[in-house]
Amino acid sequence: MNERRVVITGIGCLSPLGNDLATTWDGLKNGRSGIGRITRLDPEPFECRIAGEVRDFAADQYFRVPKDARRADRYVQYAVAASKMAFDDSGLDVSQVDPRRFGVMVGSGIGGLSTLEREHATYLNRGPGRVSPFTIPMMISNIASGIISMEFGLLGPNMVIVTACATSNHNIGEAWRIIKFGDADGFLCGGAEAAVLPMGLCGFANMRALSTRNDEPEKASRPFDKGRDGFVMGEGAGVLMIEELEHARKRGARIYAELIGYGVSADAYHLSAPSPDGSGPAYAIGMALKHGGVDTTDVDYLNAHATSTGLGDIAEAKAIQLAFGDHAKNGLMVSSTKSMTGHMLGAAGGIELIASVMAIHDGVVPPTINVDDQDPECDLDVVPNTAREVPVNVAISNSFGFGGHNASVLVRKFA
């Protein structure tokens, strides 16, 4: 069973850069920032007043029954929208396949925070009897996968893994495992997040995790730069259709890239801070490379988790150097697309794997923008400020979550 190959046949995304793959990827290639002053609520009371918001989004156009969008939390709306894009992009016709062989693993690091905030306010202002009976099913982190399965009639494995900002990579990686093991032929997998809300802003800001560069929002997210002062929250969704190779071939599917490796580990170190020696992420990277049967020198591009925090960027740089040795400084291109999208939390890995796949597909490595004075402790080729047109055959995407969760996903040009 382990010889089963898994390929990517569909891509869907919503991001601060655009509401589809074409505009998001164009923004990433051109080094455009999606960060701006928060518009969904009055940001004045908050220390951090900037974020990467999804803009001009009409949820009802993505649901089979448009009114169903009103009974979905915003994170679920994003998840359904990205899933529909990935599903349509894949060209899959459920009536022509066994629906019990196609599953869904689309998770969220935080879940339905907007529903929780709204209904808690209802409770305080109007009493317990006025709280919506849909509160629980709208806010739980598994409901996006459930609704996606209903929208597309997918009867296969349906579950989510919640590992904070590593959520997308764990869902993609475990879906890959299930296909490899032979228990499914395909998955919609990835993550979605919509936490640009009062509690999201307060919670992260009071940890001193968020940038307060409110007067220059486009320059606030600056991974690997000495002037970084915290991350910027982003929102959206990144979902991929992954599929067993022969199944994809039989139906004539277009193949973006091959998913060849997945590594996991724990730091077992701290509630929110990474282990400073980088050993946990390095182990996850090594596992992914082993699964893929590739050497360190085979990897052309690494999409870093790098969020624009002092501790995190340095720890990941050490992990990359530990995992790749001399290749980390001599041949490996590393960039953080969070410099443009902000940190999309549970959706980050989905968007960033999509960026890695498109780097392979188009032969363009997206840059890390806002690198004006690179931190010498992040001594890597971080592709500063300008994209590079260069062939990419193998790429890896890192995601790490509070609690010490590490996940790396490895992709290769399909041949």
Q: Are strands 394-401 and 388-389 parallel, antiparallel or unpaired?
A: unpaired
Hey, how many other C-beta atoms are within 10 angstroms of the C-beta on 371? Answer: 23
Distance CA 184, CA 101 (A): 4
Residue 303, φ and ψ in degrees, nearest 5:
-90, 110
Reply yes or no on whether 48 is catalytic: no
Tell me the one-letter amino acid at 15: S
Active site residue: 170, 247, 291, 343, which one?
Answer: 343
Burial 136-156 (b: 16+ CB within 10 A, else e): ebbbbbbbbbbbbbebbebeb
Annotated catalytic residue, options 13, 165, 189, 378: 165
405 catalytic per annotation: no
Dist. CA 331–CA 107, nearest whole Å: 34
State which amino acid sits at residue 321.
Answer: Q
Please state the separation of Cα 333 from the chain's center in Å: 19
The long-range contacts involving 315-318, CB below 8 angstroms and separated by at least 24 positions, are 315/274, 315/275, 315/276, 315/277, 315/278, 315/281, 316/274, 316/278, 316/281, 316/398, 316/400, 317/224, 317/278, 317/377, 317/378, 317/379, 317/380, 318/276, 318/277, 318/278, 318/282
Q: Which amino acid belongs to residue 220? A: A
- Residue in 8, 91, 4 with CA at minimum distance from that of residue 259: 8
Instruction: Round to whole Å and give the CA distance between 343 and 402.
Output: 13
d(CA 174, CA 178): 6
Longest dimension (CA), the chain: 64
Please choose, from the candidates 263, 274, 332, 326, the residue with its C-alpha nearest in 3D space to the C-alpha of residue 303.
332
Choosing from 170, 247, 291, 305, the catalytic residue is: 305
By annotation, the residues acting in catalysis are: 165, 305, 343
